[in-house]
A and B are shown apart, each in its own frame.
Chain A
Amino acid sequence: MDIFGIPLQAFLGQLMLGLVNGSFYAMLSLGLAVIFGLLGIVNFAHGALYMIGAYVAWISLDRFGLNYWLALVVAPLLVGALGVVIERTLLKRLYKIDPIYGLLLTFGLALIGEGLFRYAFGVSGQSYPVPELLQGATNLGFMVLPNYRAWIVLASLLVCFGTWFVIERTRLGSYLRAGTENPALVQAFGINVPVMVMLTYGAGAGLAALAGVLAAPVIQVNPLMGSHLIIVVFAVVVIGGMGSIMGSILSGLALGIIEGLTKVFYPEASNIVVFVIMAIVLVIKPAGLFGKEA
C-alpha cells in the first residue's frame, strides 16, 4: 500500500520522526506560552536557556561525572535559578512599559549568552553520549526507532500535560491565572504575586533547560543550537495562539509532523513550511488556532 507514492511503512516512519521533533517544539513553545500568558513577556532568551541547559548537562558529565539522569534534574534547577535572577534583576522593571522592551531585553540576553558560550567552547560543539539505559533501538515493524527518541516523546508528553494540568486544573494554577488578570486584587487576598511571577519565569526557564538536556544526546551541543530553533518555536506559539498552553502543545506536535512529511515530499521547503502555515493562520485567525480574540 502506498500513500502519495511512498510505501506505507516509510510513511509511518516519517510520521514517527515528525512526532519526535514535534515533542521538542511542544516543550519549548509550552515554556514560551506560559511566560507570555502569565507575564506578558516575549521571551527571546528561551533558545539561549535551552542551549545553556544542554551545556549544563555536558559540563556536568564532562567535568563532574554527573550522569544523564542527574543532569535532567540539575540543569533545570540551575537554569531555573538563573531565570529567577534575570526576573528579579531585570525583567521586573519592565512589566509596566511596552512589551517591546521585554522582547529587546531578552533578545540581548540571548546574544550575550550565546557569545559567552561561543567564547568558552567554540562553535564546533560537543558530543553528548546517549545514556546507556536508552541505547539501542526497537523494531516497530514499520521502522527501527532508537530507544532514546521514544523516550523523548514520552518525556515531552509527560512534561507538557503535567504543566497544562498544574496551570489549568489546580488551585496554584488558578492563583497564577488570577494574578496575571488582576494582580492588585489577588494581592489583596494575601497572595504574594511578585514571588509567583518570579517562580513562573524560573519554571519557564527550567522547562527550556529540560528540553536542552533531552536534546543533548540527539544533536550536537553547540552555542548556536538555540538560535536555530527559537524562530521556529515562536512560529509554533503564534500558530497555537500566544499564551494558550494547550494550543502550543498541540500545534507543536502537529507542526513537527507536518514538517517531517515536508522533508519527504518537498525537502527544500522543510525549513519554511512552518512559516507558511503561520502566515495562513494569521490571515484567517489572527489570534492563533487556540488563542482567545482580544
Chain B
Amino acid sequence: MKLKRIASACTLALATMFGVSAQAQISGNVIKIGIITDMSSVYADIDGPAGVEAIKMAIADAGGAVNGKKIELVYADHQNKPDIAAAKAREWFDTEGLDMLLGGTNSGTALAMAKVAAEKKKPFIAIGPGSSALTNEQCSPFTVHYAYDTVALAKGTGSAVVKAGGKSWFFLTADYAFGTALQNDTEAVVKANGGSVLGSVRAPLGTGDFSSFLLQAQASKAQILGLANAGGDTINSIKAANEFGITKTMKLAGLLVFINDIHSLGLKTTQGMYLTDSWYWNKDAEARAWSRRFFDKIKRMPSSIQAADYSATLQYLAAVKAIGSDDGVKVLAHMHQSKINDMYAKGGSIRPDGRMVHDMYLMQVKTPAQSTEPWDYYNVVQTIPGDQAFTTKAESKCKLWK
C-alpha cells in the first residue's frame, strides 16, 4: 500500500516536471496569433474580416491546437494609421503574450509593425502590404514578406506588356509613397526591356473624377496607360477610361489590381487588361477546392491576400509543431529552412532578407464570353518563376542578405 503510494507520488512528480518543461516551450500555454489589418475602410474587401476568416480556417485545419496547446486568434482594425497599428502590436506583445503577428494591407502600417516585432523578437508576417522596403532598406530578421511586393508587380506586368509590344507608356500615379514607388519600379523595368516612358501625371489619393488626367494621358499618344494606384482610385480610373473611350486607343496595365476590383467593375469594363498577382483561386484544382470552402463561408471568392493569410498561418503552425516551441527566433529559423508547399505556393522559400519567394502570375482579364461562371475572371498568361519575380541579390540593399 505504502509502496503504491510512493509510486503514484513519483508518477505525479514526473508528470508535473514534464508538464512544466512543456509549458516552457509554448509560452502562456497557448499559441496566440494576431492580425492587424484594414477591417472597415478602402482595403477591407481584399483582406479585412474575410482575411480573418481565412486565418480561422487555417487554425481549424491545424486541428485548433498544436501538441495539445490551444491556438488563439486576435484581430484589430488599424484604420490605415501606422500609429494605431504599432500601438496595438505593442499592447498585444506586452500584455497578451502574442506569439506571431500577421500584417494586413497598407505598407505604412506594416513598416511600423515590423519595427515593434523586431524589438520584441517575435515573427511578423506581412501579407498585404506592397512596399518592397520591408525586405530591402528596412529589412529585419523578424519580418517575413509573404504575398507580393511592388518590385514583383513591376517586373511581372511591366516586362510582359513591353514584350507583348506595348513599348510606350504613360503613368497615372497615386501621389503618395506607394504610387511613386510602383511607378519608379515599373519605369525601370519598362526601360530595361527597351520601352519608353512618355510622361506621367500624379493624381491625389482619393480623386473622384479621373477624366481630366485621362485626357492628358490620351494626348501623350502612348500605347500603354500604367495605373500606379490601388483600390478605389484604380476602379474609378478604369471606369472613366472606358467612358471616355481611352481604352480604344490605349491598353490599360493595372499595376496593383485585386480580383475584388475586377468583380466590382465587371468584365465588360475590364476585359483584356493585364495584371500580376501572387495567386488566383481558379489556377489549379487545389486552389479551387480551398476557394470553394472559403466561398461557402464568405459568399465571395478569396483574393490572393486572403489565400496568403491562410497559407502563412498554416506554415507558422507547422513550424511550431515541428520544433515543439513558439519561441520567435527558433520558429523563424525553422521557417527559413523549410519549403512552403500548400494550395497557395509550391516550392516557396523564405530568403535571408525575409522575402518569401514563390511564383507570380501574369494574368489577362477574360472577355464576358470567355467567363463560364461567377468569379471566373482571369486567363493565366504566364507563370513568373520566383527567382525572376522579386528583387535580386545584386539589387538588394538589405544588410541581412550580403
Interface residues of A (CB under 8 A from B): 10, 13-14, 17-18, 20-21, 115, 118, 122-127, 130, 137, 143-144, 146, 148-149, 218-220, 222, 224-225, 228-229, 260, 263-264, 267-268, 270-272
Q: Quick check: A271 and B206 within 8 Å, CB to CB?
A: yes
How far is B243's CA from A21's CA once the two chains are assembled, in angstroms?
A: 15
Q: How far is the CB of A18 from chain B (nearest CB, A)?
A: 8
Q: Quick check: B202 and A219 within 8 Å, CB to CB?
A: no
How far is B41's CA from A82's CA once the two chains are assembled, in angstroms?
A: 25
The answer to whether A268 and B175 touch (CB under 8 A), given A124-B45, A144-B244, A219-B239, is yes
- Can you give 28 contacting A-B residue pairs, CB < 8 Å? A10-B216, A17-B209, A17-B211, A21-B208, A124-B232, A124-B235, A124-B264, A125-B232, A126-B264, A127-B239, A127-B265, A137-B244, A149-B211, A219-B208, A220-B232, A220-B239, A222-B232, A224-B42, A224-B232, A267-B175, A267-B201, A268-B175, A268-B202, A268-B204, A270-B203, A270-B207, A271-B206, A271-B207
Q: Quick check: B41 and A123 within 8 Å, CB to CB?
A: yes
Asked if B327 lies at the interface with its beta carbon under 8 angstroms from chain A, I say: no
Q: Which residue of B41, B219, B235 contacts A125 across the interface (Cβ within 8 Å)?
A: B235
Total contacts A-B at CB 8 Å = 102
Q: How large is the interface on B (under 10, 10 to 19, 20 to 34, 35 or more residues)?
A: 35 or more
Q: How far is the CB of B190 from chain A (nearest CB, A)?
A: 21
Q: Quick check: A146 and B263 within 8 Å, CB to CB?
A: no
List B residues 1-53 near A (Cβ within 8 Å).
Answer: 40-45
- A residues near B95, Cβ cutoff 8 Å: none
- B residues near A122, Cβ cutoff 8 Å: 44-45, 260
Q: Quick check: A10 and B45 within 8 Å, CB to CB?
A: no
Q: Quick check: A219 and B209 within 8 Å, CB to CB?
A: yes
How far is B171's CA from A267's CA once the two chains are assembled, in angstroms?
A: 13
- B residues near A146, Cβ cutoff 8 Å: 243-245
Q: Quick check: B245 and A270 within 8 Å, CB to CB?
A: no
Q: Quick check: B213 and A267 within 8 Å, CB to CB?
A: yes
List B residues 205-225 near A (Cβ within 8 Å).
Answer: 206-209, 211-213, 215-216, 219
Q: Which residue of B236, B244, B260 contacts A219 across the interface (Cβ within 8 Å)?
A: B236
Q: Quick check: B209 and A218 within 8 Å, CB to CB?
A: yes
Q: Quick check: A127 and B232 within 8 Å, CB to CB?
A: no
Asked if B385 lies at the interface with its beta carbon under 8 angstroms from chain A, I say: no
Scoring B residues 228 to 254 as 1 if CB is less than 8 Å from chain A, else 0, what string do you get? 000110011001100111000000000
How far is B232's CA from A20's CA once the two chains are assembled, in angstroms?
A: 20
Q: Quick check: B44 and A123 within 8 Å, CB to CB?
A: yes
Q: Quick check: B212 and A263 within 8 Å, CB to CB?
A: yes
State the 5 A-B residue pairs at the shortest beta-carbon distance, nearest first. Answer: A271-B204, A124-B264, A263-B212, A124-B45, A124-B260
Asked if B194 lies at the interface with its beta carbon under 8 angstroms from chain A, I say: no
How far is B244's CA from A148's CA once the two chains are assembled, in angstroms?
A: 10
Chain B: CB-nearest residue to A137 = B245
How far is B270's CA from A127's CA once the two chains are assembled, in angstroms?
A: 12
Chain B: CB-nearest residue to A263 = B212
- B residues near A218, Cβ cutoff 8 Å: 209, 239-240, 243
Q: Quick check: B235 and A123 within 8 Å, CB to CB?
A: no
Chain A: CB-nearest residue to B261 = A124
Residue among B206, B207, B244, B260 with max Cβ neighbours from chain A (10 Å): B244
Chain B: CB-nearest residue to A10 = B219
